[in-house]
């Protein structure tokens, strides 16, 4: 099934983890994928393995000028962008009294401002063509909060809010905007966690396991595809039932 045949998809945070799995999923379904990451070398290596003529660009999503340059590079090699996956994100967890200004700002800059920077650059290109799909990375904690994640929760709640604003502004112009809200996903970050913490995560998830990067990639692909043509401004939980299990 090639739901993205002939389409250009830009995925941020694409060098590894969920971003890479998403790029691979979109490419397998026919997209020409641009793998965007602050680690340009890793993104280029990953892009070499993609089918469909995919390529990499280096971008620091927290830097508006870097985003402008990256989008300009994409446009120099393609005729536009049909799908934008705002996947790049970081965590700097600490309880409130231990959150430093630098910790706070770095998370806001990447997760919230980064999503804003990319969408501000790409959305007008989609509007000019009268079509496009944007999917943002929120989190289940952006909906319900979580202990020790002040900056991360704030950034992801902000992403949900921006998604709903943009769905209203861009929907009538042919551009859909949605977001996903993953729960506990097995990534490089969770691989370093203690066994008892991982066991607790699984215990609180009714499906009895951590999510896989491929689970999130499938959700991204669905919302970006024409199968979701009448879905706009929504938050899709990808959490194994975590919320109902807590």
21-75 residue pLDDT tens: 999 999 999 999 999 999 999 999 999 999 889 999 999 999 999 999 999 999 9
In angstroms, the Cα distances linking 118 to 3, 114, 194, 209, 230 are 23, 6, 35, 33, 23
For the record, the structure tokens of 151 come out as: 């900056």
Structure tokens given for 96: 């409130």
Q: Give the span between the Cα atoms of 79 and 152, in whole angstroms.
A: 35
Which tokens sit at 144?
């319900």
The predicted pLDDT at position 192 comes to: 63
Task: Judge whether 118 and 67 are in contact, CB under 8 Å.
Answer: yes
| Residue positions counted in the chain | 246
**pLDDT value of position 83:** 98
CB atoms within 10 A of CB 170: 21
Beta bridge partners of 85: 11, 135
**What is the per-residue pLDDT for 193?**
62
Catalytic residue selected from 4, 152, 166, 184: 152
Residue written as tokens 């992403």? 159
Express each pLDDT in 127-180 by its tens digit. Answer: 999 999 999 999 999 999 888 999 999 999 999 999 999 999 999 999 999 999
Distance of CA 53 to the CA centre of its chain: 22
- Give the Cα separation of 78 and 154 in Å (integer): 35
Q: Each residue of 87-97: b (16+ CB within 10 Å) or e?
A: bbbbebbeeee
Residue boundaries of the structural domains of the chain = 8-187+212-241
**Strand ranges for the chain from DSSP E:** 8-12, 32-37, 55-58, 83-86, 132-137, 175-182, 235-238
Residue pointed to by tokens 């020409």: 32
Task: Supply angle C-alpha 218, 219, 222, rounded to 5.
Answer: 85
Gap between the Cα atoms of 48 and 159, Å rounded: 31
Structure tokens at 30: 């026919």
CB atoms within 10 A of CB 192: 7
Per residue in 105-131, pLDDT (tens digit) is 999 999 999 999 999 999 999 999 999
pLDDT at 184: 87
Helix, strand or coil, per DSSP, at residue 3 = coil
Tokens of 108: 């806001």
* 8-187+212-241 classified as CATH 3.40.50.300: no
Crossing angle of the two packed helices 17-28 and 213-224, in degrees rounded to 10 = 50
**Which pTM was predicted?**
0.95
Q: Which of 143, 144, 177, 138 is nearest to 156 (CA)?
A: 138
The per-residue pLDDT for 188 is 74
Spacing of C-alpha 43 from chain mean position: 15
Q: Whole-angstrom Cα distance, residue 209 to residue 158?
A: 28
Q: Is 144 tagged catalytic?
A: no
């Amino acid at each position: 099934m090639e739901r993205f045949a002939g389409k250009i998809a830009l995925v941020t945070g694409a060098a590894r983890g969920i971003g890479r799995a998403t790029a691979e999923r979109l490419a397998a379904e026919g997209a020409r994928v641009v793998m965007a990451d602050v680690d340009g070398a890793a993104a280029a290596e990953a892009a070499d393995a993609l089918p469909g003529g995919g390529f990499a660009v280096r971008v620091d999503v927290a830097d508006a000028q870097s985003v402008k340059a990256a989008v300009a590079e994409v446009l120099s090699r393609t005729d536009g962008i049909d799908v934008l996956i705002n996947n790049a994100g970081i965590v700097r967890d600490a309880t409130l009294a231990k959150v430093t200004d630098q910790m706070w700002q770095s998370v806001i800059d990447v997760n919230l401002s980064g999503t804003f920077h990319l969408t501000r650059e790409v959305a007008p290109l989609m509007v000019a063509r009268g079509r496009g799909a944007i999917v943002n990375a929120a989190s289940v904690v952006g909906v319900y909060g979580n202990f020790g994640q002040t900056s991360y929760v704030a950034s992801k709640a902000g992403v949900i809010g921006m998604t709903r604003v943009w769905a209203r502004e861009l929907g009538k112009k042919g551009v859909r905007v949605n977001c996903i809200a993953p729960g506990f996903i097995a990534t490089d970050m969770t691989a370093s966690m203690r066994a008892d913490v991982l066991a607790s995560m699984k215990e609180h998830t009714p499906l009895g396991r951590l999510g896989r990067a491929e689970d999130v990639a499938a959700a991204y692909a669905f919302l970006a595809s024409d199968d979701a043509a009448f879905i706009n401004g929504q938050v899709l939980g990808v959490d194994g039932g975590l919320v109902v299990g807590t």
